[in-house]
Amino acid sequence: MHIAPGDHNTRFGFVVSKAVGNAPTRNLVKRRLKALARPLAQTLSGDIIFRALPSAANSTWESLTRDVAACVEKQGKTSG
């Protein structure tokens, strides 16, 4: 079943392993990714998994924003 963007059936999953850092660091990365994902629910559909790489622990907000935007753009090109 194909769900059109904007149907608000978007679910996000976040994978942040111990390789990213200790529990407070992992939680910070998850909170940042969740904040970046929230507005995407209006434009994307389906189940989307974010997997944080160890470098995410030291990434700035701007860097994470660029990375998420690049992933969303790439996903849009491959799902068409």
pTM of the model: 0.79
For 34, the token pair is 């969740």
Is the pLDDT at 2 greater than 70? The verdict is no
Provide the mean pLDDT of the chain: 85
pLDDT at 1: 40
